[in-house]
Chains A and B, each alone.
Chain A
Amino acid sequence: MQLTHLRSYARPIDLESAVELLSEGGRGTRLMAAGTDLVLSGSDEITGLVDLGGLNLAYVEERDGAVAIGAMTTFTELLEHPAATGYLDGVVVEMLRRVGSPLLRNVATVGGNLVRKQPWSDVIPLFRALGASVTLFDGDVRSGPIDDLYAEAAHLTGAILTEIVLPSQPVGTAAAFWKFTRSAVDIATLNCAALIQTEESGCIRARVFVGATPRLAAAVPSAEAALVGTDLSAAAIATAARAAADEVPTGDDLRATAAYRTRLVSVGVTRCLEDAKRRLEGVTS
């Protein structure tokens, strides 16, 4: 038995009840999406669970070029949905296919991944690079940029993530995701996501995130700055990659040393940007 201290379990069918159950449950009560991590944690601290599986939060909808994703949508449901396949040349689908195996993707949820904040999350860097927004419910409905979830002062206690929206992207925008692993099915040794928006003048917006450093993905402002205003030439990309390697703090864990990760930052940012640029050219040509 994994959760030996579990004393209560509820699967409410409306958000208000879920929030109530969560606050009544006290310290040991957690929200549960698929529950894969909660179950595996075997944590003695978990005494109550509020299962979000009854809230009808598993859906994907296209809304005028934007993609709305219910927080309880599984990775498989998202990657098989035409809205995801068609979004920015399939970048979301490509990322999801690198997450775990089908056995995990069939249960793990998009919302659960965003909220768990595992440092190796592949969804977080890409969704942040895409400029996603999120909707929370804590009695009231609150919407805001996904970045707010990861701000230092972020405070999620008592709130339920209900929806994620990937915004409609302007023409001339492309994104890419890159991940380095030890084996095919593995968490990232390092990952990288990038979005570039161009006009005739060149790059007008760049978002670059590097994750699993081994800490959770963060933006790399110096690389972004190095790209804006350029024509995304090989030299510009190289400058951005160098800036990222200088800026991104890396650390040791059992997957790699800090020094190796720093070398990967440079490779990953380069490949990610080159990929984004290729997609841009593919789309415009």
Chain B
Amino acid sequence: MPDRTLPRFEVVGHSETKVDAYALVTGKPVFVEDSDIAGSLHIAFLTSPHPHARIVEIDTSRAEALPGVVLILTHENTPTRRYTTAGQGYPEPSPYDARMFDSRVRFVGDRVAAVAAETLEIARAAVRLIDVRYEMLPAVLSIDAALAVGAPVIHDEDDATGIHDAARNTVSVVKVDVGDIEAGFAGSATVVETVCETQYAQHAPIEPHVVQGYLDNDGRLVLVSSTQVPFHARRIVSMVLDLPLYRVRVIKPRIGGGFGVKQEILLEDVVGLVTMRTGRPSLAVLSRPEEFYASRTRHPMRVRVKLGAGDDGVLHSVDMEVISNTGAYGSHALTVMSNVGSKTLPLYNKAPNVRFDGKTVYTNMPVGGAYRGYGATQGYFALETAMDELAGELGMDPVELRRRNHIQVGETSPIFEAIGEGKAGVEQTVKSCELEQCIDIGAERIGWDAKRGARRRDGSWAHGVGMSIHMQGSGIADVDMAAATIKMNDDGSFNLLIGATDLGTGSDTILGQIAAEVLGVPLVKIVVYSSDTDMTPFDTGAYASSTTYVSGNAVRLAAEQVRDQILEVASAMLDEEAASLRIGSERVTVATGESVTLEDVGLRALYATDQVQIGATASYVGAESPPPFLASFAEVAVDTETGQVKIIEYVAVADCGVPINPAAAEGQVEGAVANGIGYALTEEMLISDHGRVRNPTFFDYKIPAAPDLPRIQAILVDSYEPTGPMGAKSIAEIGINAPMPTIANAIYDAVGVRLRTTPFTPERVLDALEGIQQNG
């Protein structure tokens, strides 16, 4: 721990009870589907059974004849404007390649029609009565097929925009070349090259996508949505339905998890149109199978990494080439690809020569989207596998190799500026980095020195340890804005109104803590409300690890303005200069000890003298995106007879600056690591030769349950980010990047085989083991 004194906080840095904990633990009706709205229609979808086809004829007459059916939407009676379902800043860096309903379907699960009926059973029955005649088109069902000469073109429509090269099925390209990569390799003592291939995986929030729509008493459209991006949802719905934006209101109540998949506008448009056309409330909920095959996934990628280093292990050249499969639509295609490079390459800034070459292609497969980690996850698997291989080639401890190469405080990387999201990035110098501490603690906890290379056997089980290190970002610098409004009440409490979107992460709580800290009150005196496009100020939403840093800084700024207003009122009350006053313990105090309570201030301001609403709105756009860091260690056991991999111990040590709420921050790491372990070991959407998802249920797609996981040890080190609110950086995403390379490297340590295709199913592991035995 560097010698310095961290600021002391009263509310921040404490594991305060989540502000919504009571409602959630008592099962209060706080989720979208819990509000029984009388007379609501239910919406069911007809989706394409074919990976690529043209709709020649669609006959809804039998369905319409079913009693209880109220409205059927198809491409023949809905708006045709192209847009992107990606809820991103405007203008979105994703292509406008989707229609609400199209006459062409591009993957199994693509929307063909929606039925609104009096009950869900009727809507589902009507869906089965819609007759569709398809003209089959040749389908593209792999990355290689998409790139093949003469491949069928998936987006040849002339009204799509923002596609890099539609004729070659190429959505986007990201290229960066710094220094002289080949000269760097030529001057390297050791060069390794590895190619990793990752699978389709799904977010699997336990609450699926759900939207309830209704018209308010003024005929405005209200959408209560399980969205991470209420303001983007409002903008996109307004655009697609050609409604004035002021006629749309989006409310986000409690959300049952998102992980990126609820950054996508998948139901709001349909619910909105049904409610506008019928004048009636309407509800749409994705079924679990639809959540798998018709919503969004993690982009599968093929990543090639080539590293060159000197005898001392210091990198000379880092070359990363990536092909990503975005499926039928290009949501987040460009920006996820950007993050494959921008969130990984700066970590090893000692290499003067860096090249990144990323290309994202369309296929007739499930659609990629934002998923916690956002490309960094796939990038780190390849990069950290290659680093492990390099350590092996050099005969160096993998921990030591990382120590010699990772970025430090005061350092920068040309990649920060070279790769942004849809535009150039932002130059930045790292101002906080406790990666050394993270590595030390993690290595000690796992028993690295004793276990690495020990090849301990226990019957058929071979044990090994592996590690990897990571960075992410804190929001999208110079792009995404958050605002916060705080107003003071007559009892000295405050309302904090935020567009920031708590989807279970605890952001309402930590933003409340930041306000409470500045205003010198306990958390209970901050009444937090999020998010409602009518009531709360703008916030881009919960993505890109932005809320703590970007929204948190907005809250801090708003609270500081409110504090200053309070001091001004108190100054008149105490007849003292505002500058000599201190706020804390719900009072404003003079150095002499004389004080007034915040209640006194609130009452005076609202009722007595020089009356004024004490309150402020502040906004924040990050000038930079300070990375959190993480060192990850695992011990695994591999059954050499079955290929089964068990995680014996998992340690994740993170530098997230000052954790505003340590329990919540630990929870983010624990949850992200758990999700990452599932991604590494069992989670894989299996796609048939016909493009159909074969395992769209929790029965067949296995996400980790409690008995599948070790006790994940999440440790937060002392750190302070000078640009963060109260020294904080992000924490939500970084943990998910770690398990895949950490486990792969541990498997290598245990049994000497490299797994480069994911997930590491027993069958893949055993095949790899037997491959070695055959070759050796």
In-complex A–B contact (CB below 8 Å): yes
Q: Does B707 contact A (CB under 8 A)?
A: yes
| Set A1, A4, A183, A257: member contacting B705, Cβ < 8 A | A183
Interface residues of B (CB under 8 A from A): 120-121, 125, 641-642, 644, 682, 686, 694-695, 699-700, 702, 704-705, 707-708, 761-763, 766
Grouping DSSP codes into helix (H, G, I), strand (E, B) and loop, the B interface class, with mixed when no group exceeds half, is: loop
Q: Does A267 contact B (CB under 8 A)?
A: yes
Cα–Cα distance between A264 and B642 once the two chains are bound (Å) = 7
| Set B121, B125, B694, B761: member contacting A182, Cβ < 8 A | B761
Q: Find chain B residues with CB under 8 A from A101 CB.
A: 705
Q: Find chain A residues with CB under 8 A from B642 CB.
A: 180, 263-264, 267
Given A182-B682, A183-B705; A4-B121 close (CB under 8 Å): yes
| 0/1 interface trace, chain A 4-31, chain B, CB 8 Å (1 if under) | 1000000000000000000000000000
Q: Find chain A residues with CB under 8 A from B682 CB.
A: 182-183
A185-B705 in contact (CB<8A)? yes
Which residue of chain A has its CB nearest to the CB of B120?
Answer: A1
Given A182-B761, A183-B682; A254-B766 close (CB under 8 Å): no
B763-A257 in contact (CB<8A)? yes
Which residue of chain A has its CB nearest to the CB of B701?
Answer: A254
Number of residue pairs spanning A and B whose beta carbons lie under 8 angstroms apart = 38
Given A180-B642, A185-B707; A254-B761 close (CB under 8 Å): no
B766-A183 in contact (CB<8A)? no
Q: Does A184 contact B (CB under 8 A)?
A: yes
Which residues from 252 to 279 on chain A have a C-beta closer than 8 Å to any C-beta of chain B? 254, 256-257, 260, 263-264, 267
B694-A254 in contact (CB<8A)? yes
Which residues from 88 to 140 on chain A have a C-beta closer than 8 Å to any C-beta of chain B? 101
| Set B686, B705, B762: member contacting A254, Cβ < 8 A | B686
Q: Does A148 contact B (CB under 8 A)?
A: no
Cα–Cα distance between A185 and B705 once the two chains are bound (Å) = 8
Which residue of chain B has its CB nearest to the CB of A186?
Answer: B702
**Which among A183, A184, A257 has the greatest number of chain B C-beta atoms within 10 A?**
A183
Q: Find chain A residues with CB under 8 A from B761 CB.
A: 182
CB B703 to nearest CB in A, in angstroms, measures 8
| 0/1 interface trace, chain A 169-190, chain B, CB 8 Å (1 if under) | 0000000000010111111000
B763-A254 in contact (CB<8A)? no
B641-A267 in contact (CB<8A)? yes
Q: List 23 A-B contacts (CB under 8 A).
A: A1-B120, A4-B125, A180-B642, A180-B644, A180-B762, A182-B702, A182-B761, A183-B682, A183-B702, A184-B708, A185-B707, A187-B699, A254-B686, A254-B694, A254-B695, A254-B700, A260-B762, A260-B763, A260-B766, A263-B642, A263-B766, A267-B641, A267-B642
- Give the 6 A-B residue pairs with the shortest CB-CB distance, closest first: A184-B707, A183-B702, A260-B763, A267-B641, A184-B708, A183-B708
Q: Find chain B residues with CB under 8 A from A187 CB.
A: 699
Grouping DSSP codes into helix (H, G, I), strand (E, B) and loop, the A interface class, with mixed when no group exceeds half, is: loop
CB A169 to nearest CB in B, in angstroms, measures 28
CB B128 to nearest CB in A, in angstroms, measures 10
Q: Find chain A residues with CB under 8 A from B705 CB.
A: 101, 183-185
Cα–Cα distance between A1 and B686 once the two chains are bound (Å) = 28
Q: Find chain B residues with CB under 8 A from A4 CB.
A: 121, 125
**Which among B120, B644, B699, B763 has the greatest number of chain A C-beta atoms within 10 A?**
B763
CB B288 to nearest CB in A, in angstroms, measures 12
CB A268 to nearest CB in B, in angstroms, measures 9
Cα–Cα distance between A186 and B704 once the two chains are bound (Å) = 11
Q: Find chain B residues with CB under 8 A from A182 CB.
A: 682, 702, 761-762
CB B200 to nearest CB in A, in angstroms, measures 13
CB A267 to nearest CB in B, in angstroms, measures 5
Cα–Cα distance between A231 and B761 once the two chains are bound (Å) = 36
Cα–Cα distance between A4 and B128 once the two chains are bound (Å) = 14
CB A98 to nearest CB in B, in angstroms, measures 11
Which residues from 161 to 214 on chain A have a C-beta closer than 8 Å to any C-beta of chain B? 180, 182-187
Cα–Cα distance between A263 and B642 once the two chains are bound (Å) = 8
Which residue of chain B has its CB nearest to the CB of A187?
Answer: B699
Known: A182-B682, A254-B686, A263-B766. 10 other contacts (CB 8 A): A1-B121, A4-B125, A180-B642, A182-B761, A182-B762, A183-B704, A183-B705, A184-B707, A260-B763, A267-B642
Cα–Cα distance between A260 and B769 once the two chains are bound (Å) = 13
Q: Find chain A residues with CB under 8 A from B121 CB.
A: 1, 4
Cα–Cα distance between A184 and B120 once the two chains are bound (Å) = 34
Cα–Cα distance between A105 and B250 once the two chains are bound (Å) = 42
Cα–Cα distance between A1 and B641 once the two chains are bound (Å) = 45
Cα–Cα distance between A257 and B643 once the two chains are bound (Å) = 14
Q: Find chain A residues with CB under 8 A from B125 CB.
A: 4
Q: Find chain B residues with CB under 8 A from A186 CB.
A: 702
Which residue of chain A has its CB nearest to the CB of B767?
Answer: A260
Cα–Cα distance between A36 and B470 once the two chains are bound (Å) = 45
Q: Find chain A residues with CB under 8 A from B694 CB.
A: 254
Cα–Cα distance between A256 and B700 once the two chains are bound (Å) = 12
CB B262 to nearest CB in A, in angstroms, measures 25
Cα–Cα distance between A263 and B766 once the two chains are bound (Å) = 10
Cα–Cα distance between A182 and B702 once the two chains are bound (Å) = 8
Cα–Cα distance between A24 and B125 once the two chains are bound (Å) = 29
Cα–Cα distance between A35 and B125 once the two chains are bound (Å) = 23
Cα–Cα distance between A210 and B14 once the two chains are bound (Å) = 55
Cα–Cα distance between A264 and B641 once the two chains are bound (Å) = 8
CB B517 to nearest CB in A, in angstroms, measures 42
Cα–Cα distance between A185 and B682 once the two chains are bound (Å) = 12
CB A199 to nearest CB in B, in angstroms, measures 30
Cα–Cα distance between A180 and B682 once the two chains are bound (Å) = 14
